[in-house]
Amino acid sequence: MSNSSKASIIFLIVLVLVAGYFYHNIKSLNEEIAAVQIVVGNVERELSAFEGLRPDTLMISYLRDRRNHLDNWIFLNGKFFLASDNSMITWPYLQNITNRFEPNFQFNFAVVPREEGLFNYTISGQGSIHHLYAFISHIERLGALYTIENLVLSQNYQESETGPINVINYNITIRPWIDAAIGKRLEDEALRRVQYSPLLRDPMLPAIYPPMENPSQDQFMAYEDLQFVSFSGGQAFFIYNNTVVTLRPMQRVAYGYFSNVDERNNRAVFRINKTGLYETVYQELRGN
């Protein structure tokens, strides 16, 4: 056999071996790719399933948060029917409200028959409208379902050492709402302090009234007793009982306050309220 034939045979054998090697590697690689594709397919199916459930999961989470919010709102603001009622249930309930939250509020209590086995109740008396307002606010905002059926107020305007006051006469009719099936017992529900905006002033007290002496103002200097003698940097200097005193803007005097210095006209400016309305009064500069 010639050398060229031997070389051709060797080359052919090497070529077969190389081809076999690459075939084996490609087959193994294809098998690995196929296995990876199976895993990827499984992951994609799981991901698709998860993504399909995701909106429901978010909705469930939202509804749970909303339910918790509403439960809390119902606890703070919700109302419930009474399982039963009589004077021995309502009277202690109202007394507990006053004892815990408005101990200065006193009232008379009476039973008013409404239907067979059902009653309304009247609360009457005399006192401060601020205490009455707080008492009614607790009745309306606590859980037990009582409604104000009638409210009658009458004014009892009086003058006192501390100024005009308004002691009111009141008569209130309240109605309990009962449902034996779904109602609750008052003794099973704890009382809680309710949130409400208190009255800033007595709405039945006249905004304007005749000048009235108020002994509580005696602790302050009366502007009539001041002699305006000098000023500097917004401060005013006065002679009061043979003593020099200094007043700054917004500093209290009897029935009002020192406002400012009118430098153009050389006078001190006060705001005084003895009648329910503030008036501007002046003290002229004494001397040079």
Q: Kindly report the three-state secondary structure assignment for every residue of 224-255.
A: HHCEEEEEECCEEEEEECCEEEEECCCCEECC
According to DSSP, the residues that pair with 171 across neighbouring strands are: 124, 152
According to DSSP, the residues that pair with 245 across neighbouring strands are: 238
pLDDT attached to residue 218: 84
pLDDT attached to residue 50: 56
For the chain, the domains span: 1-77, 87-188, 215-284
d(CA 281, CA 267): 10
Q: Would you say 256 and 270 are in contact if contact means Cβ atoms under 8 Å apart?
A: yes
Assess if CATH 2.30.30 describes domain 215-284: yes
The first and second tokens of residue 195, run together, are 């949130």
Half-sphere exposure of 144 (CA within 13 A, CB side): 27
Q: DSSP per residue over 115-155, as a string?
A: ETTEEEEEEEEEEEHHHHHHHHHHHHHSSB-EEEEEEEEE-
Residues 6 or more apart whose CB falls under 8 angstroms from that of 140 comprise 146, 148
d(CA 217, CA 253): 8
In the chain, DSSP finds a helix count (H) and a strand count (E) of 3, 12
% the chain with pLDDT above 70: 71
The first and second tokens of residue 222, run together, are 């009366």
pLDDT in tens, 40-92: 666 666 666 655 555 666 777 777 777 676 666 656 666 788 899 999 999 99
d(CA 159, CA 163): 6
Of 20-29, 187-196, 225-234, 246-255, which gets the smallest average pLDDT? 20-29
pLDDT in tens, 99-130: 988 888 889 999 999 888 889 999 999 888 88
Higher pLDDT, 281 or 32: 281
Cα–Cα distances in angstroms (integers) from residue 208 to residues 199, 213, 216, 223, 274, in the given order? 18, 14, 19, 21, 9
Residue at 111: amino acid letter: V
**For the domain bounded by 87-188, which CATH number is listed?**
3.30.70
